[in-house]
């Protein structure tokens, strides 16, 4: 990174070391170049940055693309996983802010799958200078039903899900993957999602699931100042289709695009469609 004269050599060295630690901790990958705004891709629960490559590579010709793993996922530093830090989505928002700063980026386009949408929302509220645009794929501000709000899950549904992960993570992964991908014609995608779910560190899989499924960002939506686009699958059991309209009504500047696609993992099952819609949103 370029240092200014306001920093002493020792201070600059410390900043570089801190940034290097973040790049290593979150297994940051940077590809591409060009003059376009930097694009950062965030993965969802139980997966990692590799789920984005089929889409992200399409933007590397004219932009710098940043991929990373949240701590506890993929090739991140598992020893850095601290349940106190990651006991809410704010801890993951800290990760995202630190990754963007370590990549020496500003005004980024953050492309987020699933829970990363709300992680990006929280990060953008705290540091709007780091973001120029949010593009959320199948996001939800709350997964559990609450009065008139239908998130898609009863509290007992989530407790049963957590018990299933705790008791038999591989079996839980094998049963859930077909339901969330919803594409019998693409068994390779179902197998990939199953394997990612099954191989996430067990303690992380259970704790992160609790944090995700009991999170509630509804009261923060009006604070999002960054232009936002929501891409909503019409056949998603994790994030029901009406959630897209709910977000559009409550985020001050928000476009909603309904994707003619099934399942929660549309960036894997319909990467061409998702890439085209991201490019339109840009």
The verdict on whether 236 is a catalytic residue reads yes
Catalytic hit among 19, 43, 113, 264: 264
Domain boundaries, the chain: 9-281
163: CB partners within 8 A, 6+ apart: none
pLDDT for residue 8: 60
In contact, 31 and 68? CB cutoff 8 Å: no
Report the pLDDT value the prediction gives residue 11, as an integer from 0 to 100: 54
Q: Is 264 a catalytic residue?
A: yes
Does the structural domain 9-281 have CATH classification 3.40.50.1820?
A: yes
Q: Which of the residues in the chain have pLDDT under 50?
A: 1-7
Spot the catalytic one: 114, 124, 215, 233.
114
Quote the pLDDT of residue 157. Answer: 94
Q: Please tell me the predicted confidence (pLDDT) of residue 275.
A: 97
C-alpha 239/C-alpha 5 separation (Å) is 49
Burial code (b: 16+ CB inside 10 Å, e: under 16) for 166-201 equals eeebeebbbebbbebbbbeebeebbebbbebbbebe
H or E stretch at 44: none
Predicted confidence at residue 124, as pLDDT, reads 98
């Amino acid at each position: 990174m370029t240092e200014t004269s306001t920093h002493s050599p020792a201070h600059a060295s410390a900043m570089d070391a801190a940034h290097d630690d973040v790049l290593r901790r979150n297994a940051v990958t940077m590809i591409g170049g060009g003059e376009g705004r930097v694009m950062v891709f965030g993965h969802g629960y139980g997966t990692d940055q590799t789920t984005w490559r089929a889409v992200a590579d399409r933007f590397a010709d004219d932009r710098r693309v940043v991929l990373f793993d949240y701590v506890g996922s993929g090739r991140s530093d598992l020893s850095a996983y601290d349940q106190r830090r990651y006991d809410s989505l704010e801890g993951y928002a800290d990760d995202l802010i630190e990754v963007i700063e370590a990549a020496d980026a500003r005004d980024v386009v953050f492309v987020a799958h699933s829970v990363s949408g709300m992680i990006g929302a929280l990060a953008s509220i705290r540091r709007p200078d780091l973001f120029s645009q949010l593009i959320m794929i199948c996001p939800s501000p709350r997964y559990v039903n609450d009065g008139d709000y239908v998130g898609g899950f009863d509290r007992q549904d989530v407790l049963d899900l957590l018990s299933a992960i705790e008791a038999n993570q591989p079996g839980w992964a094998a049963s859930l993957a077909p339901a969330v991908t919803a594409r019998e014609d693409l068994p390779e995608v179902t197998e990939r999602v199953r394997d990612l779910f099954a191989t996430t560190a067990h303690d992380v899989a259970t704790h992160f699931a609790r944090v995700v499924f009991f999170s509630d960002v509804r009261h923060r939506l009006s604070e999002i100042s960054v232009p936002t686009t929501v891409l909503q699958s019409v056949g998603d059991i994790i994030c029901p289709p009406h959630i897209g309209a709910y977000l559009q009504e409550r985020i001050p500047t928000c476009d909603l695009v309904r994707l003619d696609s099934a399942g929660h993992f549309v960036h894997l099952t319909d990467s061409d469609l998702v890439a085209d819609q991201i490019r339109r949103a840009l």
